[in-house]
Amino acid sequence: MFSKTGRWTSVKKTRRHEDDAHYNSESELELKGLDNNRGTKRVREEEPPAGPSAEAKCRYQGASIEMAKWMPELGYLLNLMFSREVGPNTPCHCGSAPSVRCQECEHNPYSCRECLIEDHIHQPLHWVEEWNGQYFAKCSLSAIGSVFYFGHDGAICPHTPTSHQGKSLSMTILHTNGVHSVHVLWCHCPGAGDRIDQLMKIGWFPATLNKPETALTFKLLDEFQIHHLQSKKSAYDYFLALVRLTNGQFPSDVANRYRDLLCIARIWRHLMSMKRSGHGHSLDRFLPHQSPGTLGASCVACPHPGFNMAPDWKSTPKEYIHRLFLATDGNFRLQRKAKVNDPDDFSLNAGRGYFANETKFREYICKIERDKPVDYDKPPDTCSGFKAGDMRRLTQQKGVDVTGIVAVVCACHAIFRPGAMVDLYVGERYSHVDYAVANALSGVPPELTHGCRTMPYILDWSTHAYCIGDGNIQALWDVDWCRPPYMIYCLSVFVSVFVFQLICQY
C-alpha cells in the first residue's frame, strides 16, 4: 500500500509476493532491499499522477494489473500451443511426404527423414519429433538413420576400410539437453589421430582413454560448473535433470552415466584451472615471485621483490615501508563428513592450488602426533571467547573427518595465499597453523616479514616465524626486541593480553 505522504513504508513479504513479484514495467517502484529486523521489503511510495484516469491510478498497484491483462488471452494462447501439435499438412521442400521435425531449431518446418538428416550433419545432438499417425513422438537423430562422420565436413572418410563401411559405433553423448545415443564413424586419414584426438577436436570429452564409447560435451561441462558454483547443484541432481530432459516418462530407460560425469567434471575443473592460470603458455617466466607451477593467484598489491618493487628496495631508509601483513583464521563450518571413499584417492594439483600438499601435510601431522599426542582429557577453557582450541568441545562432533580449515590471507587485501590452507582434524591446533603460515611465508625474504605477528591470544605461538625444511619446523628469524619500534609493539601486545585475561576471569 502507498500513502499520500510519499514516505517509506513496509510491505509484508508473504508467499504471494515471492511468487508474483512481477511489477509493471511502467511502474516507478524501486526495490530498496530487505529490512533485516522485520523481514520486510522496503518499497518507495510514488504518488499517482493527478487526474481522474483510473488506469493511471491502477498502474502503480503491482502485479495484479499485469495478471488481469493476461487473463482474457489465456485460452487463445493455449490454442496457439495446441496448433503446434497438429500433424504435418504441408509437403517437404523436396516434394516428399513430411513426417519429422526438429525440436531444437528455431524454424522447424516439417520434413522427410532424408532432408532432416542432411540439414543436421553438423548438429547430431538435436532432438527430433516424428509423427506416428496420432501424435509427435520424441526420438534422436540416430533413431531415424543419421550417422555422424568425423572429419571431411560431415561426409564419410574416403579412407574408410570396406569392412567398416555401414558399421557405425553407437556412442552415448551427454549434452545440455539430455543423454543422446549417436551413431558415429571415425576418420581413417593419415594424421587424423586416434579416437581421443577426434573427439576433443569437435568438443566432446571422452569418458575413458581406451576406446571411449561415452563422451561429454564441453558445453555441458561448462554449464555444470556454473550450476555447481552458483546454485550449489550437485552432480547427482544435475544428472537427474538430464535424465528427465531425455525421457521424462521412463527415466529408467536412460543410460546411467552419473559416475562418468563425476570423474570428468573433476578433471575438467583441474584442466580449466591450469588453462586460466597461464601454464599452457609458460607464465612462470613472467611471474618470478610465484612458486613454479602454482595454480593460485597471488596478491599483486602485496610486496614481491622482482615483480612490483624497486631493485634497491632493501636500501630504503624507513623499514616500515616494505612489510608483508598476513592474517590467520580458522573456519569450523567447512566440515567434511565421514563417508565411504577411495582411500588411495589423491589431489590432481598436488598442493599447487590454495590447499597445501595433502601427502606432505599428513606426514608432518603424523610426526607431530608421535612426538606430542593430543591431550583429549584437558579441561575445557573457561574463556567464552576462545573456543577454537577446546579439544573436548570439538571431539563431540560425530561422523566428521575434517572439523574445519585454517587459512592465511594478506591482511590488507584479503587475498588467500597459495598453498596456505590446511584441514583441521581436531580443533585449531598450533601444528596446523604452523604449517599453513610456513607455506604462506615460503620464498618471502626475511626483510619483508621481520617482526610480523598474529593474534594476541596465541602470542606464545608467534614468538618465532617458521618454515618447513626436511620434514621439520625450523626458525626462520628471531625478533630483535631491543629496537624501539618492536619494544612499543611488544608492550601494546602484552597489555592487550593482560586485559584480555582479566576479562575472561570475570
What percent of the chain lies above the pLDDT cut of 70?
A: 70
Query: What's the mean per-residue pLDDT of the chain?
Result: 76
Reported confidence tier of residue 408, pLDDT bands at 50, 70, 90: very high
- The pLDDT of residue 338 is 84
Reported confidence tier of residue 340, pLDDT bands at 50, 70, 90: confident
Q: 179 has which bridge partners? A: 174
- The pLDDT of residue 443 is 82
Distances (CA, A) of 448 to 294, 323, 326: 21, 5, 11
- The pLDDT of residue 314 is 83
Residue 226 predicted with pLDDT over 80 = yes
- The pLDDT of residue 503 is 52
**Three cell numbers, residue 335:** 566440515
Span 120-141, mean pLDDT? 91
Q: 430: exposed, middle or buried (C-beta count within 10 Å: 0-12, 13-18, 19+)?
A: middle
**Cα–Cα–Cα angle for 318, 324, 326, rounded to 5 degrees:** 145
Element of type H or E holding 380: none
Per mean pLDDT, which range of 195-209, 263-277, 339-353, 452-466 is the poorest?
452-466
Domain ranges of the chain: 8-73, 100-144, 148-276, 305-479
Residue 187 predicted with pLDDT over 70 = yes
Which one has a higher pLDDT value, 29 or 350? 350
239-288 pLDDT, tens digit per residue, is 999 999 999 999 999 999 999 999 999 999 999 998 888 877 877 778 87
The dihedrals phi and psi of 207, each to the nearest 5 degrees, come to -80, -20
**Three cell numbers, residue 423:** 584441514
Asked whether the beta carbons of 237 and 259 are under 8 A apart, the reply is no
Cα–Cα distance for residue pair 259/354, rounded to 1 Å: 26
Cα–Cα distance for residue pair 423/362, rounded to 1 Å: 10
- The pLDDT of residue 297 is 84
Residue 155 predicted with pLDDT over 70 = yes
Q: Residue 456's closest CA among 431, 407, 491, 505?
A: 491
| Mode of pairing for the β-strands spanning 148-149 and 178-185 | parallel
Cα–Cα distance for residue pair 125/141, rounded to 1 Å: 8
Cα–Cα distance for residue pair 91/112, rounded to 1 Å: 9
- The pLDDT of residue 403 is 85
Cα–Cα distance for residue pair 138/121, rounded to 1 Å: 19
- The pLDDT of residue 379 is 53
- The pLDDT of residue 207 is 95
Asked whether the beta carbons of 88 and 78 are under 8 A apart, the reply is no
Map residue 502 onto helix, strand or coil.
Answer: helix
Give the number of other Cβ atoms within 10 Å of residue 407's Cβ. 19
Task: List, in order, residues 6 or more apart from 63 with CB less than 8 Å away.
Answer: 20, 21, 22, 23, 24
Span 393-418, mean pLDDT? 82
279-338 pLDDT, tens digit per residue, is 778 777 788 778 888 888 888 888 888 888 888 888 877 666 788 888 888 888 888 888
Taking the CA of residue 53 as centre, how many other CA atoms within 13 Å lie in the half-sphere pointing to its CB? Answer: 9
Cα–Cα distance for residue pair 374/380, rounded to 1 Å: 13
Q: Residue 332's closest CA among 379, 390, 378?
A: 390
Residue 93 predicted with pLDDT over 80 = yes
Span 414-435, mean pLDDT? 85
Residue 136 predicted with pLDDT over 60 = yes
B/e letters for 448-481, b = 16+ CB within 10 Å, e = fewer, are: bbbbbbbebbbeebbeebbbbeeeebeebbebee
- The pLDDT of residue 32 is 38
- Cell numbers 558445453 correspond to 219
DSSP state letter for 301:
S
Reported confidence tier of residue 161, pLDDT bands at 50, 70, 90: confident
Per mean pLDDT, which range of 152-156, 382-386, 439-443 is the poorest?
382-386
**Three cell numbers, residue 40:** 520486510
Asked whether the beta carbons of 466 and 438 are under 8 A apart, the reply is yes
Residue 179 predicted with pLDDT over 90 = yes
Cα–Cα distance for residue pair 108/114, rounded to 1 Å: 15
Helices (H), 186-289: 195-201, 218-230, 235-246, 258-276
What is the residue-wise DSSP string for 27-78?
Answer: ----EEEEETTTTEEEEE--PPPSSS-HHHHHTTS-HHHHHHHHGGGHHHHH
445-472 pLDDT, tens digit per residue, is 888 876 554 443 343 344 333 333 333 3
